[in-house]
Structures are given as structure tokens and as C-alpha cells.
Chains A and B, each alone.
Chain A
Amino acid sequence: AQTVTQSQPEMSVQEAETVTLSCTYDTSESDYYLFWYKQPPSRQMILVIRQEAYKQQNATENRFSVNFQKAAKSFSLKISDSQLGDAAMYFCAYRSQTGTASKLTFGTGTRLQVTL
């Protein structure tokens, strides 16, 4: 079974600074997707960024980028120019591409605080 580990329960960053959230995963599969989701107090999980395992190029979405190290099974999220609205819980998630296994396996989350 796949597992996802987020070793930072809480992180803090000053507005306009850069922060990196860590995520590692364990799998024996070679084809899969990785996601970062944001969950603000409104509770809705919002997709921040996603990465296909077969792509070597790291995904980027505006101020959000990932560092995907397939061999090391690492998938970190970098938030540049942090804004107050970035404060939320961030979850790393894994989804297999094998057969019909379509569930998301989540990490335990990292709470990000953004300070002035």
C-alpha cells in the first residue's frame, strides 16, 4: 500500500517570503500522480498543483512550484511571494495510475501560517 508522509505539522512564513513544504511517499509503482491540496477554514479542498510521475519537468502554477524527485520519492511544494491568503492546511496526495485504483492517499497535512 502507498503511504504519504508530511513531516512538518506546522510552518510559518512572512508575507512576500518563500516557503517550502515537504512530502515524501512510498510506492512500488512507476506510474502515478501527485497532488498538493490546500484546505482553508472554509473546509473545501482546493487543488494547488499536480504532477504526473512520468514527466521529468517540475510542475509550476504561478507562485506555486514543485520539486519532484522520483528516485528519492520526494515531492515538495514551494510557495513564492507568500500572501496572507495562502494561510491554510496543505495536503500532499498520491494517486495510482494502475488499473482502477483511483483513490487519493493523503498525508497528514502541514498548517501554514503567514505573518505580516
Chain B
Amino acid sequence: KAGVTQTPRYLIKTRGQQVTLSCSPISGHRSVSWYQQTPGQGLQFLFEYFSETQRNKGNFPGRFSGRQFSNSRSEMNVSTLELGDSALYLCASSMAQGGYGYTFGSGTRLTVV
């Protein structure tokens, strides 16, 4: 059974650009959550999608957005990148919204220069 797949694993972008990260959940999992991990702020919740609808959103500016497709794959987009957006972005999937068990991917390391 394949795990949660995040692509790409590494990404370098320039300030002001935009970026799209992808997350493919475990087959059968319908909920996808995104987290940002930085040395200064730790792990922070970005948003959760279930059945193509955003169900929960963390305290991030509108430059951070996401979507979920009918096959449960999810993308998150960050527009007008800032240096402070450099982070490890982790995706987690579960069978149901707010599921009892979350399975995480290995993350995308985004560096903004």
C-alpha cells in the first residue's frame, strides 16, 4: 500500500514568485491536511480538505491556498513568495475528516531566495 506522496521533495524559488506543491494521499483516504514546519514557529496547521471542500483553515495569510480534486489529491499554492515562507511543508491524509489516524508524507522543502 503506497504511502502519502508529496512532490517535489525540494524546491528553490525567488521572492515574488508563486509555487504549487502536490500531495497524493493513501488510496481510500479522503481527508488531506497541510502543515508548515519551520525552526522558529514549529509545526503549524495550514488547512484541511475533505471531499474537495476546505473544512478547516489555520491562521495564514490569503497568499496560502489549496484545493482538492475528485481523486482526493491535493495541491497547495503560495503566491508572492516571501523569505519567511521557506519551510518544510507536510501533508497528512486520513480516511475521514478529523480521522483518528493521520499518515504523513515526507514533505516538500521549499527555499525562497
Using CB atoms and an 8 Å cutoff, list the residues of chain A in contact with chain B: 33, 37, 42-47, 50, 91, 95, 97, 100-109
Q: Is B16 an interface residue (CB 8 A)?
A: no
> For the complex, is B107 an interface residue (Cβ under 8 Å from A)?
yes
Interface extent on B, as a size class? 20 to 34
Chain B hits for A44, CB < 8 A: 104-107
Whether B45 contacts A43 by the Cβ 8 Å rule is no
Which B residues, 9 to 44, have Cβ-Cβ distances below 8 Å to chain A?
A: 31, 33, 35, 42-43
Interface contact tally, CB-CB below 8 A = 55
Q: Which residue of A lies closest to B4 (CB)?
A: A44
Q: Is the interface of B mostly helix, strand, loop or mixed?
A: strand
Known: A100-B97, A102-B48. A108 touches B56 (CB 8 A): no
Pick from B92, B99, B106: contact of A43, CB below 8 A. Answer: B106
Indicate if B81 sits at the interface (CB-CB under 8 A): no
Complex Cα gap A95–B56 (Å): 13
Using A45-B90, A102-B48, A103-B48 as known contacts, list a sample of 17 further A-B pairs with CB atoms less than 8 Å apart, ordered by residue number in A: A44-B105, A44-B106, A44-B107, A45-B92, A47-B103, A100-B56, A101-B98, A102-B31, A102-B33, A102-B55, A102-B98, A102-B99, A103-B56, A103-B58, A104-B33, A104-B35, A106-B42
Interface residue from A33, A102, A106 paired with B43 (Cβ < 8 Å): A106
Which residues does chain A contribute within 8 Å of B103, judged by CB atoms? Answer: 47
The answer to whether A50 and B100 touch across the interface, beta carbons within 8 angstroms, is yes
Inter-chain contact B98/A50, CB cutoff 8 Å: no
Task: Write 8 A-B pairs (CB below 8 A) sorted by A numbering.
Answer: A43-B109, A91-B43, A100-B56, A101-B98, A102-B97, A103-B56, A104-B33, A106-B43
Q: Which residue of B lies closest to A35 (CB)?
A: B102
Considering residues B43, B90, B97, B99, which has the most beta carbons from chain A within 10 angstroms of its beta carbon? B43
- Let me know if B101 is at the binding interface, CB within 8 A: yes
How far apart sit A33 and B98, CA to CA, in the bound complex (Å)? 11
List A contacts of B43 (CB < 8 A).
Answer: 91, 104, 106
Minimum distance in angstroms from B23 CB to a CB of chain A = 13
